[in-house]
Homo-oligomer: A and B are copies of this chain.
Amino acid sequence: MSIAPIRLEPLKAHCSSCNLRELCLPVGLSHDQIGRLDELVSTRKSLTRGDSLFRTGDEFHSLYAVRTGFFKTCVTLEDGRDQVTGFQMSGELLGLDGIGSSRHACDAVALEDSSVCIIPYQQLESLSLELVELQRVFHKIMSREIVRDHGVMLLLGSMRAEERLAAFLLNLTQRLHSRGFSQRALILRMSREEIGSYLGLKLETVSRTFSRLQSDGILEVKQREIKILDPDALKGLVNNPC
């Protein structure tokens, strides 16, 4: 006997009832204003691990808010070398790169089974003309993305391997903490190679650095499960030239 499909897509999404609304686009909007957003953010999309949400060169129509799961974005050079430009978790927006040229300028790939809310960009623009608060929060999100990228440039341009990895872990745990997860433990959704690409290191260097931090008693590393045994020591590693 056949089984009825469990999920139908597109599914209705509702910002007003979403528990991510304090971390996502609606942050700071009133109940009524979020209601207006509901009209616009009406569908969602599920992806399985490895799926691309969009690719470089795809026409840009929508932004995406991560609902569940985990993504990476990366840019690729003609010769195949690529650079992971960010990791995105629930509440974070994907697709801002596409606004400038009407085409996406990077690939967005699900690192685990994930779902996103689709935010049609033209409708977002229209609603932003009505709701000054929405315009404001959207500008803030883009600005923070620029500031974040500058932080990564600082990391890539002037930090050493150990520092980079420490800064990376602290950044991840902080973001996970504001989503209700532990500050002391995390499960990495990305491979050593993807971490390395993000941090400008080779996967062997990432692995060795993990091992060193473990033997220093700062971390406990079991494959992708990380425990932070000594958070202060980890923080002490960043901003130390030697």
Contacts and interface: CB of A to CB of B under 8 A. Distances in A.
B241 A158 contact: no
Interface string A54-81: 0000000000000000000101011101
Contacts of A153: 75, 83, 85, 149, 152-153, 156
A147 interface: yes
Nearest to A78: B239
A140 interface: yes
A132 interface: yes
A142 interface: yes
A134 to B, nearest CB: 10
A172 interface: no
A144 B153 CA distance: 16
A151 B85 CA distance: 9
Given A125-B132, A158-B82, A143 B97 contact: yes
A149 B151 contact: no
Given A125-B135, A157-B197, A142 B142 contact: yes
Given A81-B158, A157-B197, A158-B83, A97 B135 contact: no
A200 interface: yes
A17 interface: no
Count class of interface residues, chain A? 35 or more
A122 B157 CA distance: 34
A93 to B, nearest CB: 11
A98 B139 CA distance: 10
A61 to B, nearest CB: 14
Nearest to A154: B83
Contact of A75 (B73, B132, B151, B199): B151
Most buried by B among A82, A96, A153: A153
A39 interface: no
B77 A158 contact: yes
A166 interface: no
A142 B150 contact: no
A126 to B, nearest CB: 8
Contacts of A96: 142-143, 146
A100 B147 contact: yes
A105 interface: yes
